[in-house]
Structure formats: structure tokens, C-alpha cells
Amino acid sequence: MIRSATTSDVADIRAMIRELAAYERAAEQARATEEQLHDALFGEHPAASVLIAQDENTGEAVGYALWFPRFSTWTGTRGVHLEDLYVRPHARGAGHGKALLAALAAICRRNGYERFEWWVLAWNEPTIAFYRSLGVELLDEWTVCRLSGEPLKHLAAEAPAVVNQPSAS
């Protein structure tokens, strides 16, 4: 069963985020607290949404997809950015990952979104093979850029004043 997350899922979502980070060899980077996740998902200005894959027999949350809308200047339409897709190891192979992706594809279609995009680690061959089996296009010509930590701080210090800048939500 695929369903929208509720506030009672926050602890499971955090646990699965940490499991995903460990799988991706970056456990120390998964620092989000339950409070941060609760605010980001269910606060006054939600930053993202989550779908939960739930085992129909046990009721256990066995996977999740965390996503948020994005916008394409080229198509002039919104799309979906999938930040995390994770299925717990004991539940893999039962169709939960495909069901989560299909549910997000349906959200795209229902809302007139033209793109559904996400990243995958280059070394994660089993997942890449799974995505290819679905007809996913891998965009090898794009490189992900990230600015964080001290470089972010230093560049921000060089920012000119911005007139009429809206506050961040």
C-alpha cells in the first residue's frame, strides 16, 4: 500500500533516512532531527512531501519517497524532484519501489507536470539497472553542483544587497 505520510510517520521516516545514508556510505551526513523533519514536512510552510510504502500484512513502513515540486524554465511547468527513494532491504523485490515511483508519476500526470527527476549514485548499479528497466533516461551530460560549508559562507559574504528580496519560507 502507498499512502501519504502523516505526523505519526516522522520517526520511521528519520530512521529510513539514516538507513539510506548508511547504504550510500554517508551515515555521518544524515543529521536531520525528528523536529526538523516534522517542521519541513508538516509545518506552516512544508518544504517537501513523503509517500510511505506500507506492508499490507504487518502495517510496517517498509519504504518512502520524499519529493518536492520544481520548476522548468524551458517547459514553463512544474515537475517533481525525488530527493529520496528507499525500500528497506527485507522488503526489496516486492514491488514497493516501483509502486512509489508509479505513485509519483501519477502525481505528475494528474497535475500536468512534464518532468520527474532525481539523482542516483554512479556506483549504485543495482538501482541504475532497476531504473533502466522502467525506461528512465540517465542524463550523463549533467553534473550536480553543490555549495556548502565554508565556501557557501564565503560566497554569501560577497552578496550585494537585494532590493525587495522576499524572506525564505
The H or E element containing residue 70 is strand 61-72
Residues 6+ away with beta carbon under 8 Å from 4: 49, 50, 51, 52
Strand ranges of the sheet holding 115-118, from the earlier edge strand across to the other edge: 2-4, 49-54, 61-72, 77-87, 115-118
Query: Is 23 labeled as catalytic in the residue annotation?
Result: no
Q: Which of 64, 86, 113, 131 is catalytic?
A: 131
CA–CA separation, 62 and 85 (whole Å): 11
Question: Residue 111 corresponds to which amino acid?
Answer: N
CA–CA separation, 117 and 136 (whole Å): 9
Ramachandran sector of residue 82 (left: φ over 0; alpha: ψ -120 to 50; beta: rest): beta
CA–CA separation, 87 and 65 (whole Å): 9
Give me the active site residues, please. Answer: 131
